Amino acid sequence: MKINTAIFLLLLFPIIGTSQSLWNLERCIEFAIENSTKTRIQELKQNNIDQNRKTAIGSFFPSINGSVGAQSNFGRSIDPETNTYFDVSNLSNSYQLSGSIPIFNAGRLINTLRISKLAQLNGIAETQRVKDEIAIAVIQAYIDLFYFQQLESLSERKLSESRQLLIATRKMEELGTRSAVDRLQMEALVAQDQYLIVHSANQISDAFITLKNSMNYPLETAISIDTVMPQNNLPYSPTELASLFDIASSTNPIAKSSLLNQDIERFNKKTVLSTLLPSLYLYGGVNTYYNKILTGEAVMPSFNNQFINNMGEWVAISLSIPIFDGLYNHSRYKIAKNNFKIAQHQHDEVLRQLHAEISKTLNEKSGLENEATQMAKQIEAAQWAYNATKKRYELGTQSALDLQTASNNLLQAQVNLLQIELQLFLKEVMVEYYRTGTMRNYEWKQVVQ
């Protein structure tokens, strides 16, 4: 039995023509991102950031307010001609429209606008980070499920051969060329293979639950994954540490977010500084009023005449100079300076961690490639040893224990190669992630012979 497992990272071209009844890796990731509550929460946060951006833009326009007032007075008053009291009541209305616009505020509005734009970009980077985390979780769950399915397939093949050997052993026992101990040993091997199948089935069930949970897919609904993908013959991109780090430092969403946070804190420091400087505002407005005596025979001008004749306009300029506010704004400025330095250190730490992660990923990828080559040779040797032991067992020169050992060694080598290639696939996905800044440009192929 020979199993050649090959997993390839495909670039640039999306998966085409996938059956609707099967779920490939790309489809699983798409579903997970579209239905994740984390994605929806981040989209709402991004909408809030967009609203803040609109508010920052609107602060450049004049602020306009209108007011309407009504007042009724009633009581007793003295008539100056007769020197007697009489009852009087009147009604008055006031109307005002006013506005204000900043002329100078030490760049506070401009810096606030810049911060809102940076916050928008930061929100986009954060959204990408959330989607990438979802994709990584789905990829890991998908790989685990695929691994257990392949392990079950290997165990079924091994069980089939073990049953054939058990039948042959029973015939040899009847002929007297094998003892009952050999038969019992072969029965134990069959039981062991059956256990591996049952154990793999349980792990597959758990892996399906994990995959569905990472996708936010209904747990009670069945799903089948597709492990056969078209092969891409495009050459693989260079994976030098320096070039990958240069690309990832500008495309990785975590690195982008930390750099944007640094810029936000720099402009926030300037915004706080502006509160320590004078500000100049222009004010203006129009107002009018209407008055009517409700008692007596006094004749008052009409509403339209009073509204026009009583109208007045006013313009004012206000210069505000901060002198002392209990050191409140001074403390805010010092805090803003510290926050900017903190953001700088955080960005440096993010880049350092990113460099270490890329270096580790490339090192592990190179090591796994070497391990895969050596493990393929080990499988070839284990297959040869198993075939030779099996033939000698049939001739009566090898014991059942020797055959069981050779069979287990072959299975373990096949499982080890499967694990290595799946790990190698994940490392290739991460390398492509560092190269492009996205988890979406890949495909893979699984070939079983």
CB 108 within 8 A of CB 320: no
Report the C-alpha gap between 195 and 190 in whole angstroms.
9
Token pair recorded at residue 242: 């320096």
**Opening angle at CA 331, ends 330 and 332, nearest 5:** 90
**Does 380 map to a domain?**
yes
CB 112 within 8 A of CB 271: yes
- The residue among 231 and 37 whose pLDDT is bigger is 37
Q: How confident is the model at residue 7 (pLDDT cuts 50, 70, 90)?
A: very low
Long-range CB contact pairs, 85-89, < 8 A, 24+: 86/295, 86/296, 87/295, 88/293, 88/295, 88/296, 89/293, 89/294, 89/295
Report the C-alpha gap between 66 and 96 in whole angstroms.
6
Angle between helices 180-215 and 108-175 (to 10 degrees): 160
Mean pLDDT of 130-159: 91
Specify the pLDDT at position 34.
Answer: 92
| 273 has a pLDDT exceeding 70 | yes
**What's the number of domains the chain is made of?**
1
**Does 305 map to a domain?**
no
Specify the pLDDT at position 10.
Answer: 32
**Does 92 map to a domain?**
no
**Does 71 map to a domain?**
no
| 298 has a pLDDT exceeding 70 | no
Residue 446 per-residue DSSP state: -
**Does 359 map to a domain?**
yes
Residue 226 per-residue DSSP state: -
Q: Could you tell me the CA-to-CA distances from 28 to 132, 212, 222, 252, 385 in Å, in that order?
A: 13, 9, 13, 22, 41
Residue numbers of the domain that contains 367: 25-63+105-280+329-436
Specify the pLDDT at position 341.
Answer: 96
pLDDT tens digits, one per residue of 14-33: 333 344 578 888 889 999 99
Question: Which of 10-24, 384-398, 424-438 has the lowest average pLDDT?
Answer: 10-24
Q: What is the CATH number of the domain that holds 41?
A: 1.20.1600.10
Report the C-alpha gap between 179 and 160 in whole angstroms.
22
pLDDT tens digits, one per residue of 174-217: 888 888 888 898 899 899 999 999 999 999 999 999 999 999 99
**SS3 assignment, position 342:** helix
Predicted TM-score of the model (pTM): 0.79
Q: How are beta strands 63-79 and 84-104 bridged, if at all?
A: antiparallel
**Mean pLDDT over each residue of the chain, to the nearest integer:** 84
Q: How confident is the model at residue 234 (pLDDT cuts 50, 70, 90)?
A: very low
Q: Which residues contact 367 (CB under 8 A, 6 or more apart)?
A: none
pLDDT tens digits, one per residue of 73-119: 776 666 666 666 666 677 888 999 999 999 998 889 999 999 999 99
Angle between helices 37-58 and 25-35 (to 10 degrees): 50
Phi, psi (rounded to 5 degrees) for 6? -125, 125
**Does 299 map to a domain?**
no
- The residue among 283 and 436 whose pLDDT is bigger is 283
| 11 has a pLDDT exceeding 90 | no
**Does 10 map to a domain?**
no
Question: Which of 25-29, 74-78, 220-224, 389-393 has the lowest average pLDDT?
Answer: 74-78
For a pLDDT cut of 70, what percent of the chain falls above it?
A: 86
**CA-based end-to-end distance of the chain:** 9
Specify the pLDDT at position 212.
Answer: 94
Alpha-carbon dihedral 148, 153, 159, 161, rounded to 10 degrees? -150
Specify the pLDDT at position 378.
Answer: 94
**Does 420 map to a domain?**
yes
